[in-house]
Amino acid sequence: MPPKLPADKEGDRAMRWGKLNGIANLTMFIGIIAGVLGLAAAPTSAAARPASQAVIFWTNYGNGAIGRAWISGSHANANFITGAAGPVGVTVYGGYIYWGNAGYDSIGRAKLNGTDVDQHFISVQGTPHGVAIADGYIYWTERFGNAIGRAKLNGRQVNNNFIRGAAGPWNIVAGGGYIYWTNFGYSGGSGGTTIGRAKLNGTDVNQHFIRGAATPSGLAISSTYIYWGNFGADTIGRANINGSHVNEKFIRTAAPTGGVTLRGQWIYWANYWGGDSIGRAAISGKNVNNNFIRGLNGPTCVVTAALVDRDHARVQNALCHEGRHDRLGWLDGHRRLPGNARVGRGEGAGRRGIARRY
């Protein structure tokens, strides 16, 4: 038992405890009301992740899986979602993650905790690769159909030829009232050199918004710049958002570059064919680490999401780009990377002579 205090001290302590109990009761009342309104806070147990935790997702083309890790590169799980077929593009919106299933001719969807997986959420044509979401619509690239598709976010009103005339488009991003896509190479080929742009409603199409790329793949946009992966040159290119001041060798990567994404002062990318890693560098192009997360299986695209709180998580960089900020749900617990996948801090991943369809 605690030592007995003098009467005046006991009175002070009783008064303080009365105030604390009153605060506790008020807090409980507010919590009950918040629960009724669906605003209850997330659990604060040791198992709950920090409210500000950010994550990174990526697609593993080689084994048909979606991977996930904390933005620091830790708690990585290369098989967070399985059962996809040649997944390429990936984006996050409204509590769900979406990806392009090149092998199924479909767009897959699941909740952010990896449950309720639907590998055929939208059936499309032309081997879908990239996926982007804006203003209630989902857009995708049809690499073998040379087109950009569009549907309502609920999966209805599918239009596989929303924009025609692309050259084997690989990835797509949305922002600032526009969609942008990379022209990888006509009808599933390679050797493309341009980045296209159009308004969200499909007008003002420009298939040559940026020229001189080397088989462009992933895309990322900020308010001032556009970034892309040069699959044919192992580099990341950058230009002003209006398409001027093109620099095709802004960052040198370790392998053919897939998806590109931005978060804060960092840029991330997928080292695809022979690299099997996620790279990271400062947004200035310095401090390049080509093995930020390594031991993956044909990573093709990356996306980051910042969890602010249970009801106001912000998506940054939907489908390899810095784009819309939308409401997400919580991610589930810490899942670690199985097998030989590991968090890497070194650089210089070696190239292997592996022939893959991409």
pLDDT at 146: 97
CATH superfamily label, 54-343: TolB, C-terminal domain (2.120.10.30)
CA–CA dist 264, 52 (Å, integer): 14
Look at strands 118-123 and 106-111 and give their pairing.
antiparallel
CA–CA dist 269, 146 (Å, integer): 24
Indicate if the alpha-carbon torsion angle 279, 283, 286, 287 is positive or negative.
negative
Q: Domain residues of the chain, as ranges?
A: 1-37, 54-343
pLDDT at 240: 98
pLDDT at 305: 81
Residue among 42, 47, 45 nearest 334 (CA): 47
Of 2-11, 134-143, 205-214, the least confident = 2-11
CA–CA dist 222, 272 (Å, integer): 23
Q: What is the mean pLDDT of residues 268-283?
A: 95
pLDDT at 136: 96
Structure confidence at residue 50 as a pLDDT band (50, 70, 90): very low
CA–CA dist 136, 86 (Å, integer): 26
Residue among 173, 192, 191, 162 nearest 130 (CA): 173
Residue 352 has pLDDT above 60, yes or no: no
pLDDT in tens, 289-314: 999 999 999 999 999 986 543 333 34
Of 42-46, 127-131, 191-195, 330-334, the least confident = 330-334
Task: Fill in the amino acid letter for 271.
Answer: N
pLDDT at 52: 53
Q: Read off the tokens for 65.
A: 């899986």
pLDDT at 274: 85
Structure confidence at residue 96 as a pLDDT band (50, 70, 90): very high
**pLDDT top residue among 322 and 112:** 112
Residue among 251, 180, 161, 247 nearest 218 (CA): 180
Residue 317 has pLDDT above 90, yes or no: no
pLDDT at 126: 86
pLDDT in tens, 116-171: 999 999 999 989 999 999 999 999 999 999 999 999 999 999 999 999 999 999 99
CA atoms within 13 A on the CB side of 193: 2
**CA quadruple 138, 81, 113, 221: dihedral, nearest 10:** -40
Of 21-25, 243-247, 276-280, the least confident = 21-25
Q: What kind and span of H or E run contains 30? A: helix 7-36
Structure confidence at residue 2 as a pLDDT band (50, 70, 90): very low
pLDDT at 306: 61
Residue among 192, 198, 210 nearest 174 (CA): 198
Structure confidence at residue 222 as a pLDDT band (50, 70, 90): very high
Q: What is the mean pLDDT of the chain?
A: 79
Q: What residues form DSSP beta bridges with 244?
A: none
Residue 48 has pLDDT above 90, yes or no: no
CA–CA dist 81, 103 (Å, integer): 16
CA–CA dist 72, 70 (Å, integer): 5
pTM: 0.76
